[in-house]
Amino acid sequence: MTTEPPPSQTPADDSQPSPEPQPRLKVEQPAHHAAGVKAVAVAMKQAVSQMGVTRTTRTLSRINQPDGFDCMSCAWPDPDPEHRHSAEFCENGAKAVAEEATKERVGRDFFRAYSIADLSDKSEYWLGKQGRLTEPMVKRSGSQHYEPIAWEDAFTLIATHLTELVTPDEATFYTSGRASNEAAFLYQLFVRMLGTNNLPDCSNMCHESSGVALIDSIGIGKGSVSLLDFYSADLIVVAGQNPGTNHPRMLSALEAAKRRGARILSINPLLEAGTSNFHNPQNMRGMIGKGTDLADLHLPVKVNGDHALFLGIGKLLLEWRAIDADFTDAYTVGLEEWAEHVGRLSWSTLTNACGLSLEEIESAARMVSNSRATIWCWAMGLTQHHNSVATIREVVNLALLRGDLGKAGAGLCPVRGHSNVQGDRTMGVWEKAPGWFLDSLGAEFSFKPSPHHGFDAVESIEAMHDGRVSVFIGLGGNFAHAAPDTGYTTEALRSTKLTVQISTKLNRSHAVCGDTAIILPTLGRTELDMQSTGPQMITVEDSMSVVHASRGRLRPASDSLRSEVAIICGIAAATLGDRHDVDWGALAGDYSLIRRHIASVVPGFEHFEERVLRPGGFVLPHPPRDSRTFETASGRAEFGVSQLATLEVEPGQLVLQTLRSHDQFNTTIYGLNDRYRGIHNGRRVLFMNRADISNLGFKAGDVVDIHAAWRDGRDRCAPAFRLVAYNTPRGSVAAYYPETNPLIPIGSTAEHSNTPTSKSVIVTLSLSSAAPIRDDDRGPALDELDGTGTSGLVWPPASGR
């Protein structure tokens, strides 16, 4: 069967003249504020360059509006509709929309020009800038090029591979946090009807530790606060998080809380611009005034020192008897055991483990003790260590000690990254779905789901690597570059018989593929989703359990695109046939039918259709928040006792945390600048304490290779990183991912959650002899840099550590 001709597009042309030489990587004093005129100008310039003036104006005005579309960037909640600003988006949200609504296109001419090997040689930045995918493509066995394939032929090819498996467990089905509730629900339904629970998702690699810790301690794996709580809190703790880059709209909530008298405690190895000074572009003071210094106290904890810090705060609160005894007596168990454990810890042990002085810990504990209501926020700086679950349980212990659940202005707030990552889990995308969910799903659709746990993300990689899984299907995301141990993951994906990527744009995972590979291009959030019954809306769930609608309006990038829902239904119908009494075509044509099934299966979604049509949507139930009830084994919130574990670091070794630049969202690279940290036109930089640079025999500006050893004996290396002197604690270094993902051993994961330890990688450095590496495939090459910009700069000002 032949395909329809693709829409007109500009073919890739390698014969174009070489671009003008690019500016060299530059390190300078970073911007000290996290928004303001500069942020607005940067966002608008990038949006207009990709979308044009008219398209930019029309699209940005609809981001996060009740009748618009949900931003595909972070999961920070929206204000109530009556309090929303006309520009309810941040700089990075505008960049994310510009990436999706770009006028650039990738079609058959592009894939004819570039082989798999050609694409493999390109940077992630270059791949992302090529534009939107426009038609289904297939790389057939033995070929080095993608070629067009008709939709129905693609579905048949996928179905053939799936039905020829000896067991359904030989396939794994990944989901990113971009998928809608409707798509996620149908995806997990199809996978479970196929007969497996292999449903890894991006939660496995980010906030899985939060879910495990919260379920164990309070009985539900979600945060307990609302956006309104930020406006009545006395204290807001921001730990292991960089809101200025990763959740910029959170800064507006912090600013509003600050103006109402709240204090803010920042805990992070790096002093980030967002918590040091904030210029809000949504008001005149933020645009032209001096901004708001958000953090009242910043604690530069060393990497992986948070567990010890929270134990130290707890030790002081117990000594001071700063306890909400009414709450602990009525609603908790385990306080005595925890208090006994904390009391045995010595201060020398705790201060050495966290890298802070007793005076600094006392200052933080006094802020907690004096607070009537505290919100405890954290992100991946806490979740991606070997002891992450223990660390987060320690945060919960402090909240329980102070009675910070079920009252206004207080609670637990794991700040999720991707826009619907929490909704995906609510919809059942989980390799370890609880029995009640499987029973409810089976009753609704008259089948018996497998009760056996499936593979998570790390287990899926290992299973592909050793041949137990031969089919990988990805609903969104960029698995090849989001996963740890890039070399090992690449080997795993390339050893499969089939990889399928449901994507809006080109990324690394299209080049790191199986023997047969299929690309299925899908609609984006910004685009009109027209099905047989008319235009459709989708729904998402934000970080604070609010479910709301999203409606795209732009004309799709190609007439050949299909929605995620339609693609899933097409694969399911081709694979399952009449094995189950599900009308996949009807579900693809009318998403309200999907929502009826969700309402029957998932608690809290009763009258789904009616409630989600209300402006702002509705809030899902949360027993600890709503009624101080806890669905744990004891029926109470449970204090957890966790032994203090520290990394064993030998002389000459450092502890690396991977992080994002400001021009980045997950693995999508918007640009090559990180102005909040003073980096321009480059990404291969390593932030390091000046004393460590000197003591190890280097100087600022040197180019080094980063090595990570693991017990498997493999020397994992990320070559050619420029040393940048920075005010990070001694022994702690930082660099951007995905460039540093090759250093994260596949076997180094968090206890209980199996999350890769991306924030605590033990590394050594050596002077680099690597070939030049270009961040954007055009320049500058690292060997062209003279390093003069780094020779005298330490930012922020040295603290003497």
Which residues fall within 8 angstroms of residue 69, CB to CB, at 6 or more apart?
62, 63, 525, 526, 550, 551, 552, 553
Give me the torsion for CA of 326, 332, 334, 336, rounded to 10°.
0
Q: What is the mean pLDDT of residues 151-159?
A: 98
CB 516 within 8 A of CB 138: yes
- Highest mean pLDDT: which of 23-37, 241-255, 496-510, 709-723? 496-510
Q: Which of 603, 601, 738 lies closest to 667, judged by CA?
A: 738
Q: How many whole angstroms separate alpha carbon 673 and alpha carbon 678? A: 8
Q: How far is the C-alpha of 159 from the C-alpha of 800, rounded, in Å?
A: 62
Q: Look at residue 384 and give its three-state secondary structure.
A: coil
| Predicted pLDDT of residue 18 | 35
Q: Worst-scoring range by mean pLDDT, 538-552, 590-604, 643-657, 768-782?
A: 768-782
Give the phi and the psi of residue 637 in degrees, each rounded to 5.
-70, 140
Please check the confidence at residue 789 and state whether its pLDDT lies above 50. no
Amino acid at 273: A
- Can you tell me the mean pLDDT for 413-429? 91
Query: Residue 612: enclosing H or E segment and its boundaries?
Result: helix 608-612
Quote the CA–CA distance of 639 and 218 in Å, as a whole number: 9
| Rounded percentage of the chain residues whose pLDDT exceeds 70 | 86
Report d(CA 459, CA 481) in Å as an integer: 16
Q: State the Cα–Cα distance between residues 732 and 251, nearest whole angstrom.
A: 26
Find the DSSP H helices in 370-465. Answer: 380-383, 388-401, 421-426, 435-445, 457-465
Identify which of 519, 467, 520, 475 has the alpha carbon closest to the alpha carbon of residue 496: 467
Q: How many CA atoms lie within 13 A of 747 on its CB side?
A: 9
pLDDT at 273: 72
DSSP string, 476-538: SS-HHHHSSSHHHHHHHHHTSSEEEEEESB--GGGTS--SEEEEEEB--TTB--EETTEE--E
Residues 6+ positions from 713 with CB-CB distance below 8 Å: none
Q: pLDDT band for 781, please (50, 70, 90 cuts).
A: very low
Q: Taking 90 as the threshold, does the pLDDT of residue 243 lie above it?
A: no
Mean pLDDT of 733-737: 97
Q: How far apart are the C-alpha atoms of 375 and 399, rounded to whole Å?
A: 8
Return the SS3 of 649.
coil
Residue 671 has pLDDT above 50, yes or no: yes
Residues 585-591: what's their mean pLDDT? Answer: 98
pLDDT at 689 over 60: yes
Q: For 260-274, 279-293, 345-359, which range has the lowest pLDDT when averaged over its residues?
A: 279-293
Q: Place 97 in a pLDDT band, splitting at 50, 70 and 90.
A: confident
Split at pLDDT 50, 70, 90, the class of 88 is low
Look at 536 and 45; give whichever has higher pLDDT: 536
Q: How far apart are CA 439 and CA 441, in angstroms?
A: 5
> What is d(CA 114, CA 111) in angstroms, rounded to the nearest whole number?
5
Buried b (16+ CB within 10 A) or exposed e, 617-643: bbbbebebbeebbbebeeebbbbbbbe
pLDDT at 238: 96
- Taking each helix axis as running N to C, give the angle between helix 388-401 and helix 335-343, from 0 to 180 degrees, rounded to the nearest 10: 110
- Whether 121 shows a pLDDT value over 70: the answer reads yes
Provide the pLDDT for residue 290.
Answer: 55
Alpha-carbon torsion (569, 570, 576, 580), positive or negative: positive
- The mean pLDDT of 63-70, rounded to a whole number, is 76
For range 332-344, the mean pLDDT: 98
Q: What is the pLDDT of residue 23?
A: 54
End-to-end CA distance of the chain: 68
Evaluate if residue 417 carries a pLDDT over 80: no
The rounded distance, in Å, linking the Cα atoms of 190 and 641 is 40
Neighbouring C-beta atoms of residue 487, cutoff 10 Å: 13
Q: 262 and 236 in contact (C-beta within 8 Å)?
A: yes
Count of other CB atoms within 10 angstroms of residue 791: 12
Q: Quickly state the pLDDT bin for 31 (edges 50, 70, 90).
A: low
Find the angle CA(251)-CA(255)-CA(257) to the nearest 5 degrees. 115
Report residue 86's pLDDT band, with 50, 70 and 90 as the boundaries: low
Give the mean pLDDT of 485-510. Answer: 97
